[in-house]
Amino acid sequence: MPFDGSLGPDSVNKTSHYSVTDILGQIVAFIGDNPSLAGLICFIVAMGEALFIIGLVVPSTVVLVGAGTLVGLGKLDGVSIFIWTALGATAGDAVSYWFGHFYKDKVRRLWPLSRYSSLMDRGEEFFRAHGGKSIFIGRFVPGVKSVVPGIAGMVGMNATRFTVINVTSAIFWTAAHLGPGILAGTALEAIGQISTRLAFVIGGLCVILFIAVMLGRWLILIILPLFPGAHAAIVNWFGKRPGKMSQWIAVTFDPAHPRSIGMLVSALLLLITMPAFFFFIGEIAPGEPMVRADVAILNLFSSVRTPIGDTIMVFFTSLGDGVVVTFVTVAVALYLFLRRAWRRATGFLIAIGSTAIFVPLIKALLERSRPIALYSGADSFSFPSGHATLNAVLFGICAVLIAHERNRWIKAAIFSITAAYVITIGFSRVYLAAHWMSDVLAGFLFGLAIVSAFAFVFGPIHNEKIGRNTLAALVVGCLTLFGGWHVIANLDKAVEIYEPRNRFQILTASEWHATGWKELPQNRIELSGGTKEPLVIQYAGDPARLAPVLTPHGWSPPPKWSLSTASGFVEGKTPADKLPILPRTQNGRSPALVLIRKDETADPSGGRWVLRLWPSRFEILTDGTLKRLYVGSILHEAILRPMGEFSGPKMDREAPALSTNPARLLPDALVRQWPDGREVVLCQEPPALIAPTKPKTTGTPEAISPAN
């Protein structure tokens, strides 16, 4: 499938570049312009995270690290955010303490708290083991931090002593949560001085890594401990069944077996990831939504590429090259054999070898084209990503071996670091247009399936002792020395290979008017790959020159997002033209132009038309000049006012009547018709800022050119 868009920053005009980052800028500006609101949010989140039991489901880390990042970016005042957050953490623990103090043992009988008796038992054991220090320590321990203050109140801890420890720990806890974000924000601000697009890319990668790591940590440290009885119940159910398979499951996953939990998690992951991989195979057929999503996501990446960003991503993608994977594989295998870990060494080689054979075999069978031509033979095909698959298997198995028989905290740290490294390599493949997003995701799924199978089969082995710290040092050393040498030796060549490639398709004006217009999409394509409203305008030229032509006809820029404009949504009488516009993308691209026009014919509740123009992958050659071709939609939004207290826009018409399409105000506008009867207007920018003209009455059959 050809790539629908440009791959280089040089091929993205200034207007298009601004619109890509405009959404992020509006969000940051909204929060930064309203520090009191941000402080209140931090207070509520920090308090909710510390409330008895409730804190288990409050995502405080995500919000607070984000707030810290905004502080580092200079959008929020650090002192006020720190005070608000510390006060919230203090208040949350205080509420939990007094809740336990007043209700005592009745807490265990209250629903739904009665369902968390095992969690309260662990909190009570933690409190007895550490005494008053548990208030301070427990605030940093997932799984018990939401119950320890309540336990302190239940056992009658002195209120003054609790308050002193509570305030002190809240200050340190606040620093621990805001600090990383502040450092990240400061770094992004410095990067942003060099390039806004580079900051956008690195910030996006950090968000992806943060979410992935947090999900993994919640699974290991919080979710699994919440179901201590489920494991035994499942095993008992199988144990009562007569079949051999049921009895094997009951024996294999017996809770008395010290490694049964790890085997159970491995089995579940294998049962989920392998079917998901084959599901992806069915979803990459031409015309499927995932294919459109791949193109849209790749277009989004292409619009934010920079030379510095390219160098960083080439660095990581080179660390995942086959030569580096081979070197690390040989080193790890030799080490395992030298330690006489025969079964694990053999299983390790089987896992890597089978993956190395499977990936090119699937590529050759599916023959899916890459976004850009890079290699020859089976490697010239795209699905699945070899970098993503092999690195997931190699470093996933190494993480399993290194984390073997360690406590949950160390396991979470090891798997977090491994996931961050492998995800960064996969991210670099999409950024550099070496793979589609679905290629990388499928590679991760297959790699995780192989790692799960290895952990299931070889995890229970206890008579093969491996120097876990030595193995970790070996892997890191190989990456640092050999991987570093490989990157340095080939960096310039790799940057040249992955350099952005201008993929604009050039049409002459006559070609565009005749048949070229049919090469553009008929409907807007979302990032998810779904199709939405029809695209009723094709415009060649500078979008900035279209606005003055439409202004006399009532079209104007929409209000920018701010606290005052956003408050219009919660007022019942806000005019339609005073409400901000919700962002929409077309094939991964943000609009280069947005205009609105109040609908005077709408009912008393108000309404408006919204015009958006997005850049396409085409350029039109007219009079010796290349002009970027844009596609546009025009939606009608009715303003709903439930109970007279809110103002909410809702799309009720996907396109205007042909006679009222504002693109027809331009000279020489042409109308073309799709096979389903829908029309699209082809127009070019005026040679100069022209006076408004009367719409042409071209609704007769002679004025409409058939699609064929």
- Concatenating the DSSP letter of every residue in 218-234 gives IIIIIIGGG-HHHHHHH
Flag whether pLDDT at 106 surpasses 70. no
Q: What is the pLDDT of residues 483-519, one digit of tens each?
A: 889 988 888 888 888 887 766 777 888 889 988 899 8
Contact at 8 Å (CB) between 668 and 693?
no
Q: Which of the two residues, 370 and 53, has the higher pLDDT score?
A: 370
Arithmetic mean of pLDDT, 539-544: 90
Boundary-marking domain end, from 497, 531, 559: 497
Q: Give the containing element (helix H, strand E) for 506.
A: strand 505-508
- The fraction of the chain above a pLDDT of 90, given in percent, is 8
**Confidence class for position 152, pLDDT limits 50, 70, 90:** confident
Contact at 8 Å (CB) between 182 and 129?
no
**Confidence class for position 295, pLDDT limits 50, 70, 90:** confident
pLDDT at residue number 682: 93
Flag whether pLDDT at 115 surpasses 70. no
pLDDT at residue number 177: 73
Q: Are residues 511 and 439 in the same domain?
A: no
Q: Are residues 458 and 513 in the same domain?
A: no
User: Residue 52, SS3?
Assistant: coil
∠ at Cα 476 (473, 478), nearest 5°?
105
Q: What share of the chain is helix, strand, coil (3-state, %, to 5)?
A: 60, 10, 25
Tokens 């996006």 correspond to: 204
- The fraction of the chain above a pLDDT of 70, given in percent, is 66
Helix and strand tally (H, E) in the chain? 24, 11
Flag whether pLDDT at 692 surpasses 60. no
pLDDT at residue number 693: 45
Arithmetic mean of pLDDT, 19-43: 55
203 inside domain: no
Q: Are residues 477 and 511 in the same domain?
A: no
> Assign residue 14 a region: left if phi > 0, alpha if psi is -120 to 50, beta otherwise?
alpha
> Assign residue 531 a region: left if phi > 0, alpha if psi is -120 to 50, beta otherwise?
beta
680 inside domain: yes
Q: What is the pLDDT of residues 258-288, one digit of tens each?
A: 455 555 666 677 778 788 888 888 878 777 7
Q: Which of the two residues, 631 and 37, has the higher pLDDT score?
A: 631
Arithmetic mean of pLDDT, 53-63: 58
Q: Are residues 533 and 565 in the same domain?
A: yes
Flag whether pLDDT at 18 surpasses 80. no
108 inside domain: yes
Flag whether pLDDT at 584 surpasses 90. no
Q: Are residues 397 and 310 in the same domain?
A: yes
pLDDT at residue number 16: 38
Q: Are residues 329 and 474 in the same domain?
A: yes
**Confidence class for position 633, pLDDT limits 50, 70, 90:** very high
220 inside domain: no
184 inside domain: yes
**Confidence class for position 395, pLDDT limits 50, 70, 90:** very high
User: Residue 629, SS3?
Assistant: strand
Flag whether pLDDT at 537 surpasses 70. yes
Q: What is the pLDDT of residues 200-256, one digit of tens each?
A: 555 555 666 566 655 655 555 445 554 455 555 665 666 667 766 665 555 555 555
Arithmetic mean of pLDDT, 30-54: 67
Q: Which of the two residues, 707 and 132, has the higher pLDDT score?
A: 132
Q: Are residues 273 and 402 in the same domain?
A: yes
Flag whether pLDDT at 194 surpasses 60. no
Flag whether pLDDT at 554 surpasses 80. yes
Q: Which of 157-171, 326-340, 446-460 has the highest mean pLDDT?
A: 326-340
| Range with lowest mean pLDDT among 127-131, 138-142, 250-254, 696-700 | 696-700
Distance CA 561, CA 346 (A): 59
Q: Are residues 459 and 372 in the same domain?
A: yes
Domain count, the chain: 3
Q: Which of the two residues, 659 and 306, has the higher pLDDT score?
A: 659
8-state DSSP, 589: B
8-state DSSP, 701: G
pLDDT at residue number 485: 92
Flag whether pLDDT at 690 surpasses 70. no
pLDDT at residue number 704: 30
Q: Are residues 134 and 109 in the same domain?
A: yes
pLDDT at residue number 625: 78
Q: Are residues 356 and 377 in the same domain?
A: yes
Distance CA 28, CA 24 (A): 6
Buried b (16+ CB within 10 A) or exposed e, 343-367: ebbebbbebbeebbeebeebbeeee
Contact at 8 Å (CB) between 107 and 83?
no
232 inside domain: no
For residue 212, CA distances in Å to 72, 322, 393, 452 come to 22, 25, 17, 18
Flag whether pLDDT at 658 surpasses 60. yes
pLDDT at residue number 121: 58
Burial of 107 (0-12, 13-18, 19+ CB in 10 A): buried
364 inside domain: yes
Distance CA 385, CA 368 (A): 11
What are the φ and ψ backbone dihedral angles of 464, each rounded to 5 degrees?
-115, 100
**Confidence class for position 342, pLDDT limits 50, 70, 90:** confident
pLDDT at residue number 205: 58
Q: Is the pTM of this model over 0.85?
A: no
Token digits of residue 298: 């790749």
Q: Are residues 524 and 646 in the same domain?
A: yes
Containing structural domain, residue 317: 258-497
Arithmetic mean of pLDDT, 672-697: 71
Contact at 8 Å (CB) between 38 and 67?
yes
Q: Are residues 554 and 698 in the same domain?
A: yes
pLDDT at residue number 681: 92
Within its chain, how far is the Cα of 626 from the centroid?
A: 35
Contact at 8 Å (CB) between 63 and 53?
no
Distance CA 658, CA 668 (A): 15
Q: Which of 501-510, 582-591, 628-637 has the highest mean pLDDT?
A: 628-637
Q: Which of 179-188, 209-218, 462-471 has the highest mean pLDDT?
A: 462-471
Boundary-marking domain end, from 468, 497, 526: 497
Arithmetic mean of pLDDT, 544-551: 88
Distance CA 257, CA 245 (A): 18
Average pLDDT, the chain: 74
Boundary-marking domain end, from 479, 497, 515: 497
What are the φ and ψ backbone dihedral angles of 584, each rounded to 5 degrees?
-140, 145
210 inside domain: no
